[in-house]
Homo-oligomer: A and B are copies of this chain.
Amino acid sequence: MKPEDFASLRVDGARLMNDIHSTSEWGKGERWGDAETEVGMSRLSLSDTDKQARDWFHETTTALGCKVHVDAMGNQFAVRPGLDNEAPPTYAGSHLDTQPTGGRYDGILGVTAAVEMLRVLNDNWVETAYPVGVVNWTNEEGARFPMSMTASGVWSGDIPLEKAHNLKSVIPANDTATMRTELERIGYLGDVPCSWEATRMAAHFELHIEQGPILEAENRRVGVVQGVQSYKWFTVTVRGRDAHTGATSFQHRADALLTASKMILASHKVATQHGALASTGILNLKPGSTNTVPGFVQFSLDIRAPENETVEATEAACKSAFSALAAGQDVMDIQTGCAPSSRQCTVDWRTDFVSPATHFHDDCISCVQAAAQDLCGSSGGEADAEVKGRDIGSWGKLMTSGAGHDTVYANKRCPASMIFVPCRDGVSHNPSEYSSPEQCADGANVLLGAVVRYDRLRGERGRERGS
Contact indicator per residue, chain A 333-363, by CB within 8 Å of chain B (1) or not (0): 1101111001000000000100000000000
Q: Which of B241, B252, B260, B337 is close to A333, meaning CB atoms less than 8 Å apart?
A: B337
By a CB distance below 8 angstroms, the chain B residues around A334 are 265, 334
- A339→B268 CA distance, assembly (Å): 8
Query: Is residue A378 contacting chain B, with contact meaning CB distance below 8 A?
Result: no
- A337→B267 CA distance, assembly (Å): 11
Interface pair B248/A213, CB less than 8 Å apart: yes
- A343→B332 CA distance, assembly (Å): 24
Interface pair A247/B426, CB less than 8 Å apart: yes
Closest to A273 in B: B337
Interface pair B282/A338, CB less than 8 Å apart: no
A residues 239-261 in Cβ contact with B at 8 Å:
241-250, 252, 255, 257-258, 260-261
Q: Which of B212, B269, B294 is close to A248, meaning CB atoms less than 8 Å apart?
A: B212
By a CB distance below 8 angstroms, the chain B residues around A304 are 245-246
By a CB distance below 8 angstroms, the chain B residues around A255 are 279
Closest to A332 in B: B337
Q: Which of B247, B271, B333, B426 is close to A243, meaning CB atoms less than 8 Å apart?
A: B426
Interface pair B293/A289, CB less than 8 Å apart: no
Query: Is residue A174 contacting chain B, with contact meaning CB distance below 8 A?
Result: no
Contact indicator per residue, chain A 297-340, by CB within 8 Å of chain B (1) or not (0): 00010101000000000000000000000000000111011110
Interface pair A246/B277, CB less than 8 Å apart: yes
Query: Is residue A233 contacting chain B, with contact meaning CB distance below 8 A?
Result: yes
Interface pair B302/A247, CB less than 8 Å apart: no
**Given known contacts A252-B217, A336-B333, is B293 in contact with A281 (CB within 8 Å)?**
yes
- A354→B74 CA distance, assembly (Å): 61
Q: How far is the CB of A149 from chain B (nearest CB, A)?
A: 13
Interface positions of A (Cβ within 8 A of B): 210-214, 217, 229, 231, 233, 241-250, 252, 255, 257-258, 260-262, 264-265, 268-269, 271-273, 277, 279-283, 285, 287-294, 300, 302, 304, 332-334, 336-339, 342, 352, 401-404, 425-430
A-B contact pairs, 12 of them (CB 8 A): A210-B247, A217-B252, A231-B246, A243-B426, A244-B403, A245-B281, A257-B280, A258-B280, A262-B265, A272-B338, A292-B429, A332-B337
6 closest Cβ contacts across the A-B interface?
A246-B402, A212-B247, A247-B402, A261-B261, A245-B279, A269-B337
